[in-house]
Amino acid sequence: MLEDLALWQQESKFAQAGDWVFASPLKMGRERLWPQMIMRDYIQPAAVKAGITKHIGWHTFRHSYTSLLKSNGEDVKVVQKLLRHANSRITMDVYAHALTPASRTASPR
């Protein structure tokens, strides 16, 4: 991801130290694009291009992040704190999904 962001910075009109990564052209890089604009203009088109047909929203990334941390063996309390959940049960029962090869083959696409 760092390589992709570095490439993005090289292509961006707004590559100064104080500029936002996804900067508003109307504000000459000094203010950010709104999250829904980033989702609509960048992330969802990239998902379509990648062949992803499911709905993607910002909440999707919270579930993915939790699942990746769980699959890496991170401590439940650390994951809970990173997601700012009141208790670990919400974190693990609602947000974490199995990422094992067996669960991927068993899941219909």
- Greater confidence, 58 or 88? 58
Q: Please check whether residues 23 and 43 belong to one and the same domain.
A: yes
Considering the domain architecture, whether residues 64 and 95 belong to the same structural domain is answered as yes
**Where does residue 64 fall: left (phi above 0), alpha (psi -120 to 50 degrees), or beta otherwise?**
alpha
Q: Would 83 be classed as within a structural domain?
A: yes
Inform me whether the pLDDT recorded for 57 exceeds 60.
yes
Note down the domain range covering 86. 58-106
Query: In angstroms, how far apart are the furthest CA atoms of the chain?
Result: 49
For residue 8, give every residue at least 6 positions away whose Cβ sits within 8 Å of its Cβ, in sequence order, or none. Answer: 21
Question: Which position has the higher pLDDT, 74 or 108?
Answer: 74
1-38 tens-digit pLDDT: 888 888 888 888 888 878 888 888 888 878 888 889 88
Q: How many domains does the chain have?
A: 2
**pLDDT exceeds cutoff 80 at 75:** yes
